[in-house]
Amino acid sequence: MRSKLRIPPINLISLRSLNARMILAELERWNYNGLEKGFEGELPFDLLTDKLQSDCIVLKGLLLEVGGSEFQIDTTVIFQGIIYLYDVKNYEGDYYYEDGKLYRIKGNIVKDSLSQLKRCESLFIKLLQELGFDVRVEASLVFINPEFTLMQAIIQLYTRPK
Protein backbone atom coordinates (compact mmCIF):
# COMPACT_ATOMS: atom_id res chain seq x y z
CA MET A 1 0.00 0.00 0.00
CA ARG A 2 1.32 3.43 -0.93
CA SER A 3 -0.03 6.61 0.62
CA LYS A 4 0.92 10.23 1.27
CA LEU A 5 -0.01 12.57 4.08
CA ARG A 6 -3.23 14.52 3.67
CA ILE A 7 -2.77 18.19 2.90
CA PRO A 8 -5.44 20.66 4.01
CA PRO A 9 -7.44 22.06 1.07
CA ILE A 10 -6.32 25.48 -0.15
CA ASN A 11 -9.56 27.16 0.96
CA LEU A 12 -9.02 25.85 4.52
CA ILE A 13 -5.40 27.08 4.49
CA SER A 14 -6.62 30.51 3.34
CA LEU A 15 -9.34 30.70 5.99
CA ARG A 16 -6.88 29.60 8.69
CA SER A 17 -4.60 32.50 7.71
CA LEU A 18 -7.47 34.99 7.63
CA ASN A 19 -8.86 33.73 10.96
CA ALA A 20 -5.48 34.32 12.61
CA ARG A 21 -5.42 37.93 11.36
CA MET A 22 -9.02 39.13 11.61
CA ILE A 23 -12.52 38.41 12.83
CA LEU A 24 -14.27 36.45 10.10
CA ALA A 25 -17.76 37.40 8.96
CA GLU A 26 -20.49 34.98 10.05
CA LEU A 27 -20.65 33.13 6.72
CA GLU A 28 -16.86 32.88 6.50
CA ARG A 29 -16.68 31.64 10.12
CA TRP A 30 -19.36 29.01 9.40
CA ASN A 31 -17.50 27.88 6.26
CA TYR A 32 -14.16 27.82 8.13
CA ASN A 33 -15.59 25.76 11.00
CA GLY A 34 -17.17 23.29 8.57
CA LEU A 35 -13.95 22.87 6.58
CA GLU A 36 -11.90 22.46 9.77
CA LYS A 37 -14.32 19.87 11.19
CA GLY A 38 -14.37 17.97 7.91
CA PHE A 39 -10.57 17.92 7.72
CA GLU A 40 -10.38 16.75 11.35
CA GLY A 41 -12.71 13.85 10.45
CA GLU A 42 -10.62 12.79 7.47
CA LEU A 43 -7.49 12.34 9.62
CA PRO A 44 -8.76 9.35 11.67
CA PHE A 45 -9.99 7.73 8.44
CA ASP A 46 -6.45 8.18 7.08
CA LEU A 47 -5.13 6.24 10.07
CA LEU A 48 -7.38 3.35 9.06
CA THR A 49 -6.41 3.38 5.37
CA ASP A 50 -2.72 3.74 6.26
CA LYS A 51 -2.96 0.30 7.93
CA LEU A 52 -4.08 -1.45 4.73
CA GLN A 53 -1.82 -4.42 4.03
CA SER A 54 -3.07 -4.97 0.48
CA ASP A 55 -1.41 -4.03 -2.77
CA CYS A 56 -3.25 -0.76 -3.36
CA ILE A 57 -2.79 2.97 -3.76
CA VAL A 58 -4.53 5.42 -1.42
CA LEU A 59 -5.12 8.95 -2.69
CA LYS A 60 -6.26 11.60 -0.23
CA GLY A 61 -8.15 14.79 -1.00
CA LEU A 62 -8.45 14.53 -4.77
CA LEU A 63 -9.81 17.60 -6.51
CA LEU A 64 -10.74 16.67 -10.08
CA GLU A 65 -12.51 18.24 -13.02
CA VAL A 66 -14.36 16.68 -15.92
CA GLY A 67 -16.50 18.42 -18.51
CA GLY A 68 -16.23 21.74 -16.69
CA SER A 69 -17.45 20.25 -13.39
CA GLU A 70 -15.14 20.17 -10.38
CA PHE A 71 -15.55 17.51 -7.72
CA GLN A 72 -13.65 16.46 -4.62
CA ILE A 73 -13.12 12.96 -3.24
CA ASP A 74 -11.94 12.62 0.36
CA THR A 75 -10.23 9.25 -0.07
CA THR A 76 -9.70 7.05 -3.12
CA VAL A 77 -8.40 3.51 -2.74
CA ILE A 78 -7.25 1.87 -5.96
CA PHE A 79 -6.96 -1.90 -6.25
CA GLN A 80 -6.45 -3.91 -9.40
CA GLY A 81 -9.89 -4.05 -11.01
CA ILE A 82 -11.78 -1.82 -8.56
CA ILE A 83 -11.63 1.72 -7.19
CA TYR A 84 -13.30 2.71 -3.92
CA LEU A 85 -14.37 6.31 -3.33
CA TYR A 86 -14.99 7.43 0.25
CA ASP A 87 -16.73 10.61 1.35
CA VAL A 88 -15.95 11.08 5.05
CA LYS A 89 -18.44 12.96 7.24
CA ASN A 90 -17.55 14.16 10.73
CA TYR A 91 -21.13 14.76 11.87
CA GLU A 92 -21.98 14.41 15.54
CA GLY A 93 -25.30 14.09 17.27
CA ASP A 94 -28.52 12.28 16.42
CA TYR A 95 -29.83 12.08 12.85
CA TYR A 96 -32.46 10.21 10.90
CA TYR A 97 -32.87 9.42 7.21
CA GLU A 98 -36.28 9.83 5.61
CA ASP A 99 -37.51 10.15 2.02
CA GLY A 100 -33.96 10.39 0.69
CA LYS A 101 -32.91 13.17 3.06
CA LEU A 102 -30.78 13.31 6.20
CA TYR A 103 -32.18 15.30 9.13
CA ARG A 104 -30.92 16.26 12.55
CA ILE A 105 -33.28 15.04 15.28
CA LYS A 106 -34.02 18.73 15.91
CA GLY A 107 -35.70 18.67 12.50
CA ASN A 108 -33.40 20.71 10.30
CA ILE A 109 -32.23 19.11 7.08
CA VAL A 110 -28.55 18.43 6.45
CA LYS A 111 -26.71 18.92 3.17
CA ASP A 112 -27.59 16.01 0.87
CA SER A 113 -24.50 13.83 1.23
CA LEU A 114 -25.87 10.93 -0.80
CA SER A 115 -26.60 12.96 -3.91
CA GLN A 116 -23.19 14.63 -3.55
CA LEU A 117 -21.59 11.16 -3.36
CA LYS A 118 -23.54 9.94 -6.42
CA ARG A 119 -22.47 13.06 -8.34
CA CYS A 120 -18.80 12.43 -7.49
CA GLU A 121 -19.12 8.76 -8.42
CA SER A 122 -20.69 9.49 -11.81
CA LEU A 123 -18.19 12.26 -12.63
CA PHE A 124 -15.30 9.98 -11.61
CA ILE A 125 -16.62 7.19 -13.85
CA LYS A 126 -17.02 9.70 -16.70
CA LEU A 127 -13.40 10.84 -16.20
CA LEU A 128 -12.17 7.23 -16.26
CA GLN A 129 -14.15 6.56 -19.46
CA GLU A 130 -12.71 9.68 -21.11
CA LEU A 131 -9.24 8.42 -20.22
CA GLY A 132 -10.04 5.00 -21.70
CA PHE A 133 -10.37 3.01 -18.47
CA ASP A 134 -13.14 0.53 -17.73
CA VAL A 135 -12.83 -0.11 -14.00
CA ARG A 136 -15.48 -0.95 -11.43
CA VAL A 137 -16.10 1.97 -9.02
CA GLU A 138 -17.84 1.80 -5.64
CA ALA A 139 -18.60 4.88 -3.56
CA SER A 140 -19.44 4.98 0.15
CA LEU A 141 -20.25 7.51 2.85
CA VAL A 142 -18.26 7.10 6.06
CA PHE A 143 -19.61 8.66 9.25
CA ILE A 144 -16.38 8.72 11.26
CA ASN A 145 -17.40 10.55 14.43
CA PRO A 146 -18.14 8.18 17.36
CA GLU A 147 -20.72 10.71 18.59
CA PHE A 148 -22.83 10.23 15.42
CA THR A 149 -26.04 8.20 15.66
CA LEU A 150 -28.33 7.39 12.75
CA MET A 151 -31.76 6.62 14.19
CA GLN A 152 -34.19 4.24 12.52
CA ALA A 153 -31.46 2.90 10.26
CA ILE A 154 -32.61 0.02 8.08
CA ILE A 155 -30.29 -2.95 8.13
CA GLN A 156 -29.79 -4.33 4.64
CA LEU A 157 -28.22 -7.74 4.31
CA TYR A 158 -26.96 -8.57 0.87
CA THR A 159 -24.46 -10.68 -0.95
CA ARG A 160 -21.91 -8.71 -2.91
CA PRO A 161 -21.86 -9.72 -6.58
CA LYS A 162 -18.82 -11.75 -7.61
Over the chain (162 residues), the average pLDDT of each successive run of 10 is 75 90 90 90 92 90 92 94 95 85 82 88 96 95 92 60 52
Residue 90 lies in a domain: yes
Residue 161 lies in a domain: no
What is this structure's pTM? 0.83
C-alpha to C-alpha distance for 12 and 48, rounded to whole angstroms: 23
Residue 78 lies in a domain: yes
Residue 158 lies in a domain: no
C-alpha to C-alpha distance for 46 and 4, rounded to whole angstroms: 10
Residue 76 lies in a domain: yes
State residue 44's pLDDT score: 93
Number of domains composing the chain: 1
Residue 138 lies in a domain: yes
Residue 91 lies in a domain: yes
Residue 135 lies in a domain: yes
Range of the domain at 29: 2-151
State residue 105's pLDDT score: 86
Residue 98, beta-bridge partner list: 101
State residue 147's pLDDT score: 93
CA torsion sign, 49 to 51 to 57 to 63? positive
